[in-house]
Amino acid sequence: MRGKTVMWAKLALIFGALGFLGFGLTPARAVDAACHGLADAMVKNSKTPYHSVGTISFDPKDPPAGDATIARKPISTETIFTGSQVFVKLPTGQWKDVHASIPDLQQRVESSAQSFIDCQQLADETISGSKFAVYTGADKTDTINVTTKIWVAVNTGTLAHTETTIAGPTAPDGKIRHQIISLRYDYADIKAPVPN
């Protein structure tokens, strides 16, 4: 269980929202308007330069077996996508070019973005004078369930905030633990980071 969960965390750390869309979930199920709205925003995110910051944490009431420190201290994540390169900020404070194949990543996102089910478009929200469309959706494999909620800027169609919960797989102790990924995005003056 730990190895699988760490894999998901690493993908999210490297790719932000792009990462949790590349997990190999079943494609081609975004059949209603709410799912289309959610998928469109995710696909646009894969093609728009951005800077994201956020956290990856476990439910503190039920941390991974043998590693309760993870629950007490969420993992910080910061990513810059320039359109041609992906950089992730390491715990040391240094930035690393992960040398991702952008076309391959975008293709994975486009395919996986169609996998959402049980989608809903919630009431729009206005934050600091800006209007956001709000969507929720879910997907699952045989061992992992993913639920996500996104806030999309109405004037640009880009992601502003995502909250994703990953449940599973079942651990050896029989429990299904929950990992929470919270990310916020900005799009102004996106450049490759200056090397430390």
User: pLDDT tens, 23-81?
Assistant: 444 443 445 778 888 888 888 888 999 999 998 887 766 666 555 555 567 888 899 99
Q: Look at residue 15 and tell me if it is in a domain.
A: yes
Q: Look at residue 196 and tell me if it is in a domain.
A: no
**E-strand stretches of the chain:** 50-58, 75-81, 86-89, 95-97, 117-127, 130-140, 145-153, 159-170, 176-186
Task: Provide the pLDDT for residue 17.
Answer: 45
Q: Look at residue 48 and tell me if it is in a domain.
A: yes
User: Which of 16-30, 50-64, 122-136, 149-163 is the least confident region?
Assistant: 16-30
Q: Look at residue 191 and tell me if it is in a domain.
A: no
Give the C-alpha separation, 88 to 118, whole Å: 32
Tell me the mean pLDDT in the region 1-18: 43
Domains of the chain: total: 1
Give the C-alpha separation, 170 to 62, whole Å: 13
Q: What percent of the chain has pLDDT over 70?
A: 72
Give the C-alpha separation, 62 to 2, whole Å: 14
Q: Look at residue 195 and tell me if it is in a domain.
A: no
Name the residue range of residue 135's domain: 2-186
Q: Look at residue 134 and tell me if it is in a domain.
A: yes
Q: Look at residue 194 and tell me if it is in a domain.
A: no
Give the C-alpha separation, 174 to 167, whole Å: 13
- CATH code, domain carrying 104: 2.50.20
Question: pTM above 0.85?
Answer: no
Q: Look at residue 77 and tell me if it is in a domain.
A: yes
